[in-house]
Amino acid sequence: MRWWCSNDGSNWSWAWKPYIGAWAIVAVVAVWLWRSGAFRSEVPARRKISLALGLVLILGGTDWPLSTLGAGYIVSAQMVRQVLIVMIACPLVLFGAPESLGRWIEATPRRRAVLRVATHPLLALVVSVSLLFAVSAPILVDPLVTSQLGSFALDLAWISAGFLIWMPVQPPSPMVPRLRGPVAIVYLIGVSVAPLPVAFFMTWSPTPIYSVYELAPRVWDTFDAQSDQELAAAIFQVAGGLVIWAQIAVRFVRMAGGGGGSTAGPKFRGTLVGATPATDG
C-alpha cells in the first residue's frame, strides 16, 4: 500500500491499490466538517448532499484506479481527474461548506484583506488558469508524476486552482459572492475559454507530448499514446466546458426568473449576509 499515486513503471493491474494519503486527508476533512456542524439536522439537505458528493469525488479523483491510471498510464484519465476535481468537486464543497468556515474567513480585518485580493476576479482567473497550464505542461508533468511527492504537488495544485476559480462566484455560506448576475456569467465564460489553448495544443500535436504516457505500459493494446492524448484533449475541452456551461445555464435561468440577485453592486462582495457591504468609493 502506497501513500500517493505515482508512475512506478510497472505493468497495469486491476487489483485494488488504495492510497493512504488520499483516504487520510478526506477522512480528516470529513471529521472536521462533521464537528463544524456541516451535517447538522437544520442544515438544508441539498447542502449536505453537495458536500458529501464533493468529498466523494475528491476521493475518487485521488485514489485508485483513476489516480493510478492518470499518474502513470493514460493522460485521458488525468484529464478526467481534473474535470472531476476542479469543475465539479470544488464548487460542490464550497456550496456545502459549514457557515462557520465563512465566518472564520472574515473574522479579522487581515483575513478580509487577503480575501479581497485573492477573490479579485481577474487575479483569481489568471492565477488559477496559470496553475492549470503548469500542471498540464510536459516539462513539469513528466518529472513530477514519477514520484509520490511530485504527483501529490500536482494534485494539490489542481485542488487549489479549483477552489480559487469558484471563490469569486460561490464562496462558503454565509458569505455573499463577489460576482453575481451577468458579471458572474461573463466570469464563468472566461473560465471556460481560458484553458482551451492546452486542449488545442494536445489535439493538433502530431506526436505525444508527454514522454511518461508515451513510454508507459499500455492498459489496452489498441489504445495507443496518440489516441489517448486526443481523447484527453476532448475531455478537457468538451467535458470541462459542458460542466461550466451547465453552471452558466442554471445561473442564467435563475437570473431570468428573478432569483439571481442584484446585477450591480459594490466592488467587493466578500461580506457576510446581513452585514453592510462596502460601497464604491
For the chain, how far is it from start to end, CA to CA, in angstroms? 57
pTM of this structure = 0.86
Residue 185 phi/psi, 5-degree rounding, is: -65, -45
Using the structure block, give the residue that is written with the C-alpha cell 449536505: 48
CB 209 within 8 A of CB 202: yes
Q: Which residues contact 263 (CB under 8 A, 6 or more apart)?
A: 180, 181, 182, 183, 255
Query: How is the chain split into domains, by residue range?
Result: 20-256
Angle (CA) 240-58-72 rounded to 5° is: 80
pLDDT at 205: 85
Note if the bond before 143 is cis, omega within 30 degrees.
no
Predicted local distance difference test score (pLDDT) of residue 53: 96
The Cα angle at residue 71 between residues 246 and 90, in degrees rounded to 5: 30
Which residue type sits at 190? G
pLDDT for the residue 78: 92
Strand partners, 175: 272
β-bridge partners, 19: 2
Residue type, 44: P
- Mapped onto helix, strand or coil, the DSSP state of residue 170 is coil
pLDDT tens for the chain, 281 residues: list them. Answer: 789 998 888 899 898 889 999 999 999 999 999 999 899 989 999 999 999 999 999 999 999 999 999 998 999 999 999 999 999 999 999 999 999 999 998 888 998 898 889 889 989 888 888 888 888 889 999 999 999 999 999 999 989 999 999 999 999 988 888 898 899 999 998 888 877 787 788 888 888 999 999 999 999 989 999 999 999 988 888 888 888 888 888 888 888 776 544 433 333 334 333 333 443 33
Q: What is the pLDDT of residue 258?
A: 65
